Structure 1
Amino acid sequence: MPPRRSYDQYCSAARALDVVGDRWTLLIVRELLAGPRRYTDLHADLPGVSTDVLASRLKDMERDGLTARRRLPPPGAAYVYELTSRGRQLLPVLQALGTWGQAELGERRPTDAVRAHWFALPLLRALEGETGVVEVRLDEGEFHLHAGAGDGPVYGDGPAPGEPDARLAMDVATCTALGRGELTLRDAVRDGRVTVTGDGTVAKALRA
Structure 2
Amino acid sequence: MAALDLLGRRWSLRIIWELRDAPVGFREMQARCGGMSPTVLSTRLKELEAAKIIATDEDRRWCLTATGQDLIKAFGPLHTWAERWAEEF
TM-score range, shorter chain: 0.7 to 0.9
**Matches of 1:37 and 1:22, distance apart in 2:** 20
Partners of 2:65 and 2:13 in 1: how far apart?
14
* Whole-Å separation in 2 of the counterparts to 1:35 and 1:88: 11
Amino acid paired to 2:79: G
Structure with bigger gyration radius: 1
Q: Percent identity?
A: 32
After the TM superposition, list the runs of 4 or more consecutive aligned residues in structure 1 that deviate by more than 3 angstroms.
none
Match among 14, 24, 27 for residue 11 of structure 2: 24
| TM-score normalised over the length of structure 1 | 0.38
Unaligned runs of 5+ in 2: none
1:107-160 Cα deviation digits (max 9, x unpaired): xxxxxxxxxxxxxxxxxxxxxxxxxxxxxxxxxxxxxxxxxxxxxxxxxxxxxx
Aligned residue pair count: 87
Q: CA deviation at 1:104?
A: 4.0
The gaps in structure 1 that reach 5 residues or longer are 5-14, 73-78, 107-208
Bigger fraction of residues in strand: 1
What one-letter code is carried by the residue in structure 1 that aligns with 2:70?
Answer: Q
Equivalences for residues 15-164 of structure 1 within 5 A: 15-72=2-59, 79-102=60-83, 103-104=85-86, 106=89
Letter in 1 for 2:62: Y
- Tell me: higher relative CO, structure 1 or 2? Use CA pairs within 8 A at least 6 residues apart: 2
Amino acid at match of 2:72: L
The CA RMSD measured in Å over matched residues stands at 1.9
